[in-house]
């Protein structure tokens, strides 16, 4: 039984989705993270398979400030995927001279465009932190 002097007296029972419960445990254990950051990490590991997930754009599940803090804490890492596109104009003409080739082709470059997409992936330390606070796991505190 929990009494007034017991250190567990202020512990509340938390229910809901496993990511929410794990985030609550992470938030209590790691005061350097906000609840939003802990919940983002828990969702990344439990609901999104650890990543990779985009960190920019409308479909990004984590906000850029959250990504920055979790990256600095060593709980996620960012990886980039770069694509280089080059546009060509191709012109082919029919050659009516029977002694030459049937077609003559010219290619002209119209420029290049390089785009880098950034993705977040949970590190081993981040995944372990979440696993330690998942309800019903062996490392989770008893509630």
47-71 pLDDT, tens digit per residue, is 888 888 888 888 888 888 888 999 8
Q: Where are the domains of the chain?
A: 18-132
**Per-residue model confidence (pLDDT) at position 77:** 92
- Mean pLDDT across 122-128: 89
- Mean pLDDT across 16-33: 84
**Per-residue model confidence (pLDDT) at position 9:** 43
For 67-106, b/e burial (b = at least 16 CB within 10 A) is: bebbbebebbeeeeeeeeeeeeeeeeeeeeeeeeeeeeee
**Per-residue model confidence (pLDDT) at position 137:** 61
Percent of the chain with pLDDT over 90: 2
């Amino acid at each position: 039984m929990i009494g007034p002097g017991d250190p567990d007296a202020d512990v509340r029972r938390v229910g809901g989705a496993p990511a929410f419960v794990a985030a609550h445990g992470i938030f209590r254990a790691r005061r350097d993270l906000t609840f939003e950051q802990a919940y983002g990490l828990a969702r990344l590991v439990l609901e999104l398979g650890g990543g990779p997930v985009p960190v920019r754009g409308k479909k990004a599940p984590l906000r850029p400030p959250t990504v920055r803090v979790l990256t600095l804490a060593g709980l996620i890492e960012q990886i980039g995927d770069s694509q280089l596109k080059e546009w060509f104009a191709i012109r082919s003409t029919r050659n009516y001279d029977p002694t030459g080739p049937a077609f003559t082709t010219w290619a002209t470059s119209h420029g290049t465009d390089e785009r880098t997409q950034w993705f977040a992936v949970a590190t081993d330390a981040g995944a372990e932190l979440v696993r330690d606070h998942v309800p019903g796991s062996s490392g989770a505190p008893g509630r």
